[in-house]
Amino acid sequence: MASMLMSLAQPALTGSQSLTEVHVVLGATGTVGRAVVQRLKELSKENDKTKTIIRLVSRSGKAAPDAAPTQPGNYVADAHKADLFNSADAQDAIRGARFVYLCVDVAWDSYGNRWPTIMSNVIAACEKEYAVLVFADCMWSYGNRGPSTSRVVLEGT
């Protein structure tokens, strides 16, 4: 995933061109979302021709403490509240994005009911904005069978 993030986050620029990119991390307070935010912050240091806006989207609207702009780089971190089950919230969160990282998770008991709606809302918003969607899938498709091991992954459902 890191090499994919690097290639996506660094557009080709020539001469004195400058660019502002909006990266939206849906589920920015979760484990995967925080890792994506950290990598985007690191990449912003390597690319001085691009100002990066990292929109940290969560249900609470609060950024994780480690997502705050405490390290040098050419980025701005912006916390944003959204319920992705609501299409208007999803559209608002994704507005203006060039890249969207879908890192959310839902509880096992509501996965089948909520996940298709969340995916539809996010995909529709990305299409409207012409944003690239990067999807960090969860393990629920393997069922709720206890600790995940390589054997569970290979068995599938």
Distance, CA of 102 to CA of 134 (rounded, Å): 6
pLDDT in tens, 48-86: 777 888 999 998 887 766 655 555 567 788 889 999 999
pLDDT for position 1: 47
Coil, helix or strand at residue 59? coil
| Virtual torsion, Cα 76, 27, 63, 60, nearest 10 deg | 130
| Virtual torsion, Cα 99, 72, 51, 53, nearest 10 deg | 40
Which residues of the chain fall short of a pLDDT of 70?
1-18, 64-73, 138-157
- The pTM for the full model equals 0.77
CA atoms 58, 141, 129, 99: torsion sign? positive
